[in-house]
């Protein structure tokens, strides 16, 4: 069975400093993996997706993630945090056939001025 584990429920960074949100996955085969962002009182927006084409994936708003099979990780990074990045971030693995998404428990990112 596939699953994702987000290692931090809350992360606080200062504006302008790097962001690291950690996600480990478990899968019996090489999975697709997504990161979604949810701003307060908003729906979920796709940040980026890994579908086995390239291990380093670039997304919107300067975010990127690297798929590391040896570490079963798919951590989300951004070189410099902006106040508008404050939100909840979800690591997601779709099940085979992609009809069902399995979400991590989320990481709430706080950006300090």
- Which residues contact another protein (rule: CB under 8 A)? 32, 34, 36, 41-46, 49, 51, 90, 94, 98-106
Give residue for tokens 């478990």: 26
Q: How far is the CB of 93 from another protein (least distance, A)?
A: 11
3-state DSSP call for residue 67? strand
Q: How far is the CB of 5 from another protein (least distance, A)?
A: 11
Distance of CA 113 to the CA centre of its chain: 23
CB closer to another protein, 15 vs 108: 108
CA distance 38 to 113: 20
């Amino acid at each position: 069975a596939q699953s994702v584990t987000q290692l931090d429920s809350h992360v606080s960074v200062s504006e302008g400093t790097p962001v690291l949100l950690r996600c480990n996955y478990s899968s019996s085969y090489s999975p697709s993996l997504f990161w979604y962002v949810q701003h307060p009182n908003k729906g979920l927006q796709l940040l980026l997706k890994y579908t086995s084409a390239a291990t380093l994936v670039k997304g919107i708003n300067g975010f990127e993630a690297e798929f590391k099979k040896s570490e079963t990780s798919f951590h989300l990074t951004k070189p410099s945090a902006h106040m508008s990045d404050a939100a909840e971030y979800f690591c997601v693995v779709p099940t085979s056939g992609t009809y069902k998404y399995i979400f991590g428990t989320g990481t709430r990112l706080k950006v300090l001025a």
